[in-house]
Amino acid sequence: MPKNKITDEEALAFHLEPSPGKWEINATVPMTTQRDLSLAYSPGVAVPCEAIAENPETAYDYTNKGNLVAVISNGTAVLGLGNLGALGSKPVMEGKSVLFKRFADVNSIDIELDTEDPDKFIEAVKLMGPTFGGINLEDIKAPECFIIEQRLKEEMDIPVFHDDQHGTAVICAAGLINALHLSGKKIEDVKIVLNGAGAAGIACIELLKSMGARHENCIACDTKGVIYQGRTEGMNQWKSAHAVSTDLRTLEEAMRGADVFLGVSVKGAVTQDMVASMADNPVIFAMANPDPEITPEEAHEVRVDAIVATGRSDYPNQVNNVLGFPYLFRGALDIHARAINDEMKIACAHALAALAREDVPDEVALAYGKSLTFGRDYIIPTPFDPRLIHRIPPAVARAGMDTGAARRPIVDMDAYEVGLKSRMDPTASILRGLNARARSAQSRMIFAEGDDPRALRAAVMYQRSGFGKSLVVGRQEDVRVKLEAAGLGDAVRELEIINAANTPHFEMYKDFLYSRLQRKGFDRKDIHRLVGRDRHVFSSLMLAHGHGDGLVTGATRKSAHVLDRINHVFDADADHGVAGVTALLHKGRIVLIGDTLVHEWPDENHLANIAERAAVVARHMGLEPRVAFVSFSTFGYPVSERAEKMHVAPTVLDKRGVDFEYEGEMTVDVALNERAQRYYPFQRLTGPANILIVPARHSASISVKLMQEMGGATVIGPILSGIDKPIQICSTTSTTNDILNMAVLAACNIG
């Protein structure tokens, strides 16, 4: 699979648009009236202030403390970049905050402290303690990170967790549990070699020892070689704690007969000879980033029995911290924990290991484009497994309660797990699944509008994201100039640029189009002009002849014009059952609206067709369809001739015997609000509708644009459904990312 390529320009644009940085703050309470203001601030705010002053524990009830984590760094060890300083670390810390929210619904604020003095750092963090429910330390160099974390743990009454140490350790432990299970070995018996005695390495070996690994069986190495008793060069108190009595002096010597290798060091530190010298069924966790100590391919060349993990997402068994820290803090925050102790970390590791041994849900396999089953290439769950949010935090919370770390134990654990399931935004996993399916499909995507900078950037992103090959319709020189202006001049050599002047298929395209249009008033000259000058027609002909796998267009012309041109090549009209379906993503909900593109004023039979097309799109997106035919009336009242077809359309589906839920006619609030549905106990929907079939294209357009502009909904579509080739039509207001999303949908053949 092609490796993702990210240019400097793309990375900077990602952080600049749509607004600088990666997160913002939104109010959770209304602030629209004078009464709201009086309750949120003076005088109403005095009441919770006094309550908290009298009983500090109520801060978890009346403020956001209980779901707020500080991500704090001084920038002395930023990724693999070294000491960039506090300000230079801010993009990383913002990113960590986003991960907290995305994976575990934990609110997080990044704080960068401009000091390398451990005492000043410690004092600053301590003084902020009342604000937060937990502290996540990040990118602080060793050995200061050990000093800072230890003192803060001792002096603060909320969890303090240095993720560079313990996050890696927890995921490493989870993978090792399963690797030893597969190799039939016990942790108390195996010989473990660690290379890299920094923050992460020492945390890994300490956690494994607390899980049963024997001190004398664990050999730690650094750039000076084996850390042995009596060594003085390059030592400190944290390394000394793991010194062993041994005659071994080099990593090469230590690796002979070793069962487990843990690497948090540098690329190439491990040779094939070292791997060959290890014990049977060796476990190799080469976790150096961005390149491992030895690649899985190199290791397997000499040891087919090896179980290999790395820190990279493009190899199996990724040791990824995002599997740990969001869920550790979620569980800790939910019991108002005083600390995250070893027992909670071990519980997290065992829960992750257990999850990897279970059957993988179809949605995960679909998202990753391959079957995932427990074995040598799958010993650690994938970061986007939807079960993580409701499986890992409860295990952490139970361990916290059992060890006395909880201020407020969870009474009903079953209810807690149900609540965790409802916390997460389902739209993120659906979009992730579509991206993974697109990567698996490797479609050749035709971008029809090679003269538009947005389309060109989307084409570059599509190819560099590993989705497949981008075919750009345009003139070579024009494309080059526009890409250079966008800071992507090097991409000209990567893209395949096609137009009528350089295609060998021009005459074939003309003959095909003439056979379709000769009885519709088009002569040979008209056909020549259409094929040679109209990019929408030309791109459609490419697709029709299999010279591309999908088509994205519409960014430069109105959708009605584009659809008319596509109809010259394909039967993309209402009479052939084609419909336009738009997906609205808003506050964790997905609602599809149809028809937003093809049918101007559909009758009841067309409405039934649209419902069936929308149901197909919904299932492609991982949704079980619940269709509502919406109007200004509900089940016959008020009576109106305009609402009649919405009333009749469900009876058309009754006769067709379709296999999805549908109901109508009804107002939008009844369709989307489960409480409102209870007033109509006879209605057939088992929950809020996720597909709204509207009376006409104008009402669909108004609904979508109103939600987009006033509600802030993310709009994907219209998705053209019902054509035998994947074509997606963007809007003229589409951003580069919108166009890329449409290309992903086309690659997945959603319609």
Q: Which of 653, 564, 559, 570 is nearest to 614 (CA)?
A: 653
CB atoms within 10 A of CB 708: 17
In degrees, rounded to 5, the angle at the alpha carbon of residue 530 between the alpha carbons of residues 527 and 534 is 170
Q: Answer for the pair 652, 604: CB distance below 8 angstroms, yes or no.
A: yes
Residues contacting 76, CB < 8 A, separation 6+: 83, 116, 139, 140, 141, 144
Strand partners, 454: none
CA 428 to chain centre: 6
- Secondary structure, 3-state, 670-702: HHHCHHHHCCCCCCCCCCCCCEEECCCHHHHHH
The tokens 């993974």 sit on which residue? 436
Q: Answer for the pair 129, 158: CB distance below 8 angstroms, yes or no.
A: yes
587 is catalytic: no
How far is residue 626's CA from residue 515's CA, in Å, rounded to a whole number? 42
DSSP strand pairing (134-137 vs 160-162) = parallel
Question: Distances from the Cα of 389 to the Cαs of 139, 178, 413, in angstroms?
Answer: 25, 20, 14
Structure-token pair, residue 156: 């603060």
Kindly state the greatest CA–CA separation across the chain: 95
Q: Answer for the pair 109, 71: CB distance below 8 angstroms, yes or no.
A: yes
Strand partners, 719: 581, 728
Helix 453-464 to helix 736-747 angle (10° resolution) is 50
Q: Which of 258, 325, 323, 324 is nearest to 285 (CA)?
A: 258
- Secondary structure, 3-state, 651-675: HHHHHHCCCCEEEEEECHHHHHCHH
**Catalytic position from the list 41, 120, 186, 370:** 41
**Catalytic position from the list 22, 96, 191, 510:** 96
Residues contacting 197, CB < 8 A, separation 6+: 220, 221, 222, 227, 238, 239, 242
Q: Answer for the pair 316, 335: CB distance below 8 angstroms, yes or no.
A: no
**Torsion, CA 235, CA 236, CA 237, CA 238, rounded to 10:** -90
Residue 144 backbone phi and psi in degrees, to 5: -55, -35
Structure-token pair, residue 205: 């070996």
Structure-token pair, residue 40: 């949120």
How far is residue 201's CA from residue 186's CA, in Å, rounded to a whole number? 21
Structure-token pair, residue 629: 């035919």
Reduce the DSSP state of residue 52 to 3 states and report it.
Answer: helix
Q: Which of 383, 378, 392 is nearest to 178 (CA)?
A: 378
User: Counting beta carbons within 10 angstroms of the beta carbon of residue 139, is it exposed (0 to 12), middle (13 to 18) or buried (19 or more)?
Assistant: buried
725 is catalytic: no
Residue 107 backbone phi and psi in degrees, to 5: -75, 140
CA 361 to chain centre: 17
Please identify every residue annotated as catalytic: 41, 96
